[in-house]
Chains A and B, each alone.
Chain A
Amino acid sequence: MIAPAQLDLLELSAMELALQLRSGALTATQLAQAVCERIEVTEPILHAFISFDRAALLEAAAAADRHPSTSAPALMHGLPVAVKDNLDVAGVGTTAGSRVLGHVGRVALEDAGAVAKMREAGALVVGKANLHEFAYGATGVNLRHTTPANPWDLMRIPGGSSSGSAVAVAARQVPMALGTDAAGSIRMPASLCGIVGLKATFGRVSTRGVVASHNATVDHVGPLARSVADVAFGLQVLAGYDPADSTSIDEPVPDYITALDQRDSLRGLKVGVTATYFFDAVDAEVESGVRTAIELLGRLGATLVSVDIPDLQDMMAARLAIFADGLAFHIPHLRAHPELYSREIRHRLYVDTFVQAHDYARANRVRRLLQERFARVFLDDLGVDLLASPTTPIAALPPDQWSVSFGQSQPEPVGLALLRLTAPANLTGLPAISVPAGFTAAGLPFGLQLIARPYDERLLLAAAHVYEQAAGWYKRRPPGVGA
């Protein structure tokens, strides 16, 4: 079993660990050994990783210890980070949680843009985190590898698609992980695993090296960690222009970490709460908990404003057509080896094939209308600074539950319900964060989602930090793996 002292070490935040590593109070090898032992003890239960190479991690840690920076140590010097396995890591196979890429033996020639940023800052790649097959699903159920277990209840789904990333962070295997988010895939598992997930503004973080993206104009890369401060730390390293990424935007990178110190209340902020859509079909416990969280935003000084984004329900159908873009990757594989896909993903891709050119064109125009309607809420007379909503309408469910009902409504597939509230920030490209907002009576976490104006991550993080510190939910530890 893992020594108590090492588990205590893994209770430290990413920022605290990084500080100790930079000061020399902790060596990269000591931390890497604690991570390895934690993973080896918990992984047979959790299945958070698709690949993990103990020897490679310890070698990288030893190299970091042998060659400390000549000047100031890099920001993440020696910090272990898990990488979702749809992001390229040079020299390592990228499976995207599928058997398809394993079959063709694809090995990455270079790091994904975000991975390169992390490594330039001194971070060590621990391994490739599990995910929903091809990141094409919100539950995290992976029938081609294994499904990661939710640390809060091992018999429940972790949410997806960045399932392994969220589980590894929640279960203290690693202090930080990278995920991708095309419809909520960072924020949804963060919500269901009781951690923080950040999707910055579209273009803020390089998406070069994301394999088999559904559509490059909705996909994002971002950090998952146990606190808002740690995702701010992650964004500080990840943000920046990548000229090799056509979707990257050349915008100055502000200081996200100091933004957290600039507010101790939410005074002067207007927080918008939609009367429809975001609360239309939400589990009663989750709704009650998130409304309580929003009330706390008000007590912390924010002015709560009721807002309306008309036609949102219908407009979100555009996502179905926009995701068909991914067929450009999949069709050759589907023709050659359909058996390598799970039935779920194979069927989904077959159905995507029925999206026609006029559907795709119309969807891209409706998406512009949607973008403008969100902008109006932030710009017009209401002029809100943030939108607040549940991140997911439900907490974690058992993996064999495929549909969910809310009140008198028709049953809704779990996968569609999970992403319903996060996907708007992907179609609009707006920055969004999920912060733990409470627990159900069964002890399952759920998140509060905050959405901000483009490139207003400093405000988003500062407000989320104020809420997080006041609410205190982030301090809870999952019982499932003896943490």
Chain B
Amino acid sequence: VITAEYVQEFLKASADLDVPLSVAEELVPLVRGQREALARLDRFDVASVRPAVGFDPRTPFRA
């Protein structure tokens, strides 16, 4: 469950960012929206897919 307290603690623990609880409250719906959006990626089976790092747009166009 994403709460203001969780947002505040996460930002402090993960990035040493201090935000007041009032700001954390404003962030709650935004963080929820981000998690919901990123969850849309879960449906893709990427276990054997090579990541697009070292990216070259020509790669799939080569035989």
Extra pairs beyond A429-B55, A454-B61 (8, CB < 8 Å): A202-B55, A338-B19, A350-B27, A353-B11, A364-B51, A429-B57, A453-B61, A454-B57
A201, A318, A355: which contacts B34 (Cβ < 8 A)?
A355
Cβ contact of A362, chosen from B10, B26, B46, B55, cutoff 8 A: B46
Instruction: Say yes or no: is A335 at the interface (Cβ < 8 Å to chain B).
Output: yes
- Residue of chain A at shortest CB distance from B59: A371
Q: How large is the interface on B (under 10, 10 to 19, 20 to 34, 35 or more residues)?
A: 35 or more
Residues from chain B with Cβ under 8 Å of A202 in the complex: 55, 57
Assess A353 versus B57: contact at CB under 8 Å? Given A315-B44, A366-B41, A368-B49.
Answer: no
Pairs of residues from A and B, 7 with the lowest C-beta to C-beta distance, nearest first: A429-B57, A365-B46, A364-B51, A375-B60, A367-B52, A454-B57, A314-B40
Nearest Cβ distance between residue A176 and chain B, in whole angstroms? Answer: 25
Q: Please, how many angstroms separate the alpha-carbon atoms of A334 and B18 in the complex?
A: 9
A163 interface residue per 8 A CB criterion: no
Contacts of B7 in A (CB 8 A): 350
Residues of B contacting A365 in the complex (Cβ-Cβ under 8 angstroms): 44, 46, 49-52
Is A131 positioned at the interface, with any CB of B under 8 Å from its CB? no
- Evaluate whether A371 and B34 lie within 8 angstroms (CB atoms) in the complex, with A335-B16, A364-B52, A366-B44 already known: no
A368→B37 contact, CB < 8 A: no
Residue B1 interfacial (CB < 8 Å): no
CB contacts under 8 Å to A, within B19-63, are 19, 23, 26-27, 30-31, 34-35, 37-38, 40-44, 46, 49-53, 55-61
Which residues of chain A in 298-338 are interfacial with respect to chain B, using CB atoms and an 8 Å cutoff? 311, 313-315, 317-318, 320-321, 327, 331, 334-335, 338
Q: Which of A217, A247, A347, A371 contacts B60 (CB 8 A)?
A: A371
Partner of A320, one of B23, B37, B44, B46: B37
| A331-B15 contact given A351-B30, A369-B44, A375-B61, CB 8 Å threshold | yes
CA A321 to CA B14, docked complex, whole Å: 16
Q: List B residues at the A interface (Cβ < 8 Å).
A: 7, 10-11, 14-19, 23, 26-27, 30-31, 34-35, 37-38, 40-44, 46, 49-53, 55-61
A-B contact pairs, 14 of them (CB 8 A): A203-B57, A317-B37, A317-B40, A321-B41, A334-B15, A338-B17, A350-B7, A354-B34, A362-B41, A362-B42, A365-B50, A365-B52, A369-B44, A371-B52
Q: Is A134's CB within 8 Å of the partner chain B?
A: no
Report whether over half of chain B's contact residues are helix, strand or loop; otherwise say mixed: helix
Q: Is the interface of A mostly helix, strand, loop or mixed?
A: helix
Any chain B CB within 8 A of the CB of A455? yes
Taking a contact as CB atoms under 8 Å apart, the answer to whether B51 and A350 are in contact is no
**Is A249 part of the binding interface, using a Cβ–Cβ cutoff of 8 Å?**
yes
Q: Is the CB of B52 within 8 A of A335?
A: no
Measured CB to CB, the closest approach of chain A to B56, in angstroms, equals 7
Contacts of A39 in B (CB 8 A): none
Contact of B57 with A428 in the complex, beta carbons under 8 Å: yes
Least CB separation from A362: chain B residue = B41
Distance of A334 Cα from B37 Cα, bound (Å): 24
Smallest beta-carbon distance B13→chain A, Å: 10
Q: Which residues of B contact A371 (CB under 8 A)?
A: 52, 57, 59-60
Assess whether B60 is in contact with A314, with CB atoms less than 8 Å apart: no
**Complex interface: chain A residues within 8 A of B34 (CB):** 320, 351, 354-355
Q: A314-B41, A364-B52, A365-B51 are in contact. Are A350 and B19 (CB under 8 A)?
A: yes
Q: A350-B19, A351-B34, A354-B10 are in contact. Are A217 and B43 (CB under 8 A)?
A: no
With a 10 A CB-CB cut-off, give which of A321, A353, A455 has the most chain B CB atoms.
A353
Give Cα A152–Cα B27 distance, bound, in whole angstroms: 35
